[in-house]
Structure 1
């Protein structure tokens, strides 16, 4: 059989709000937020097992078992978006 495992993680920490300001000469422009003050993270794990069996007639059968798990967290400053 064949067993594979894949794990991926991301962590972001910002000490201040990151935003792009609107153009005062253009009423249609909007302030955009590129990052919120605080911490966030994500973890993804995947596991897969498979094995190929050959029958007496030459037919190949490959059963597989796959599992995936995701977890994430956000700890943002409660007042960071209110200041916009």
Structure 2
């Protein structure tokens, strides 16, 4: 089954952290240890195998962190405190 590592597939159910996936026409139990779940219908990549369970991750290969979606306070000059004179 090591040939499956790196293969792309589709989530049949939500993988959060466990669910079911389709890889090359086969239905497999899958888990993800990432903070980002893979929703049903979403693409995924096989990154490991534990017995009969595939370890998967989103195709971009990383967890989505809410901090990545907003600028840091130092990046937005409007967030600077007014100076006191």
Task: Give me the TM-score of the superposition, normalised by structure 1.
Answer: 0.21
Structure (1 or 2) with the larger CA radius of gyration: 1
- Of Structure 1 and Structure 2, the greater strand share is in 1
- Of Structure 1 and Structure 2, the greater helix share is in 2
